[in-house]
Amino acid sequence: MTSFYLSKPYQPPQAPQNLPLNEPWALFGGISPAQFMTRYWHKKPLLVRAAIPAFPLANQSGKPLASPISALELMTLAGQDTIESRLIKANPWRFDNGPIAKKFIPSLSKPDWTLLLQGMEGHHHSAANILSWFRFIPDARLDDLMISIAGLGGGVGPHFDSYDVFLIQMSGRRQWRISAQKDLSLSPNLPLKILQNFQAEQEWILEPGDMLYLPPHIAHDGVALDAGCQTWSVGFRSPSFKELLQEGLWRLAESLEDISELEKKFADPMQKATASAEQLPEELIAQLKVKLSALKLNQIDRFLPGITAYLSEPKPQALFDGPRNPLSPARFAARLATRKLLPSPQTRILSHQKQVFCNGEEVSKGQSREITLAWQTLSANKSLISRNTKALQEGSLYTAYLSGWLVFED
């Protein structure tokens, strides 16, 4: 394995802006993204050998590829408080939440441990490039890219996830056993969510470049067969309806602040004497019905902006730093004509029709047509170049640049 760790790191390419959705992809074993979504997405597992053809091709040439991120880099990143990390050990099961100093992480030669690092797309360009391969799936569904590195025998035990996940082998080998079992009860008295009665139905050994897709609630267990085994997991979240509606209602309530008509006080000059003073007045109920009807609170379009804002919020650990030497508004706009403006790796941008939301805020609200169009381009393409310099000198686009939400391409 020594030669493997000294081999040339793999450099994942950035996917093209316009993905060929109806053409065969090696990533999915020779079927198109459209076919993958129809046959497999949220339905059944898919194992793809040589999903990243560069790995077997490099092996054939005698110059094998290593992971884009070395073990040393991952162990160093685990010590940062801006990265969500966990160290899991077996025999017996136990885990520690990060940040985790490198001196507390077992050496690669030690068995039965796994280090997990979440949200790696915000901290390494290779991880961000991997995510670009999956932009045929709505951005609103994306959770993050997690990297696990393990010693021999390392894993997190048999478990299930409530989201869709693509498990890409990047270094070493990992044995995967999966099951569509209905019994998802968990073992009691363990610090991890480990299945009590896991019964494997299929199993494979994944080599570097292989990929396994699993829909929600497929039980699975992955065990590292080599020291320094790396698996990159691209996860797609499935929020509960309760979560979505609560967040949508909360933001909808906030939006009522902008309606001056609602500042008027309730009045009931026609109220009659009542023998049931403890009851909510019928006059109040009648007037509230009128207001609610006018606000159209029973229509889904009133909720969707708030839900979109919620889904555009960045990871809790996200930290944004503005530019050290910020450009003036005029120089900012001038640079837009020659260099791409990109979302920060930790920034999330989503759209609902013509409204654009960035990091939980509606950045298109109250903006000029030119700035709104610029945000719509950023949301769709994740990059922007514009020669309309004067129109973009002020407004939410420039403010987002000052906040570190948007950065110019190096």
Domain ranges of the chain: 2-236, 241-266+279-311, 329-408
Find, among 345, 354, 346, the residue nearest to 308 by Cα: 354
Q: Is the pLDDT of residue 21 over 90?
A: yes
DSSP 317-330: T------SSPPPHH
- 135: burial class by Cβ within 10 Å (0-12, 13-18, 19+)? middle
What is the rounded distance in angstroms from the CA atom of residue 283 to the CA atom of residue 285?
A: 5
pTM for the predicted model, two decimal places: 0.90
- Give the position of tokens 């030119």: 370
pLDDT band at 2 (very low <50, low <70, confident <90, very high): very low
The per-residue pLDDT of the chain, averaged, comes to 92
pLDDT in tens, 278-303: 888 888 988 888 888 888 777 788 88
What is the rounded distance in angstroms from the CA atom of residue 47 to the CA atom of residue 213?
A: 6
Instruction: List all residues 6 or more positions away from 223 whose beta carbon is below 8 Å from its beta carbon.
Output: 153, 154, 155, 174, 175
Residue 268 pLDDT: 87
Instruction: List all residues 6 or more positions away from 401 whose beta carbon is below 8 Å from its beta carbon.
Output: 322, 323, 326, 327, 332, 341, 407
What is the rounded distance in angstroms from the CA atom of residue 247 to the CA atom of residue 307?
A: 6
CB contact at 8 A, 220 and 176: yes
- Higher local confidence (pLDDT), 263 or 326: 326
Q: What is the mean predicted confidence (pLDDT) over 312-320?
A: 90
What burial letters (b/e) apply to 238-257, b meaning 16+ CB within 10 Å?
A: ebeeeebeebbeebbeeeee
Q: Is the pLDDT of residue 31 over 90?
A: yes
DSSP annotation of 2 reads H
CB atoms under 10 Å from CB of 205, counted, come to 12
Q: For 106-110, 210-214, 316-320, which range has the lowest pLDDT when averaged over its residues?
A: 316-320
Token pair, residue 137, equals 């799936």
Q: Is the pLDDT of residue 5 over 50?
A: no
pLDDT in tens, 56-96: 999 998 999 999 999 999 999 999 988 999 999 998 899 99
Residue 4 pLDDT: 43
Q: Is the pLDDT of residue 1 over 80?
A: no
- Higher local confidence (pLDDT), 13 or 388: 13
Q: Is the pLDDT of residue 24 over 70?
A: yes
CB contact at 8 A, 403 and 347: no
Dihedral (CA of 168, 171, 173, 177) sign: negative
Q: Is the pLDDT of residue 391 over 60?
A: yes
CATH superfamily of the domain spanning 2-236: Cupin (2.60.120.650)
Task: Indicate the Cα dihedral angle 367, 370, 375, 377, nearest 10°.
Answer: 160
Q: Is the pLDDT of residue 400 over 90?
A: yes
What is the rounded distance in angstroms from the CA atom of residue 398 to the CA atom of residue 333?
A: 8
CB atoms under 10 Å from CB of 30, counted, come to 10
Whole-number Cα distances in Å, 364 to 180, 379, 385? 44, 11, 18
CB atoms under 10 Å from CB of 283, counted, come to 15
pLDDT band at 404 (very low <50, low <70, confident <90, very high): very high
Q: What is the mean predicted confidence (pLDDT) over 1-14?
A: 71
Residue 6 pLDDT: 52
Q: Is the pLDDT of residue 42 over 90?
A: yes
What is the rounded distance in angstroms from the CA atom of residue 372 to the CA atom of residue 355?
A: 8
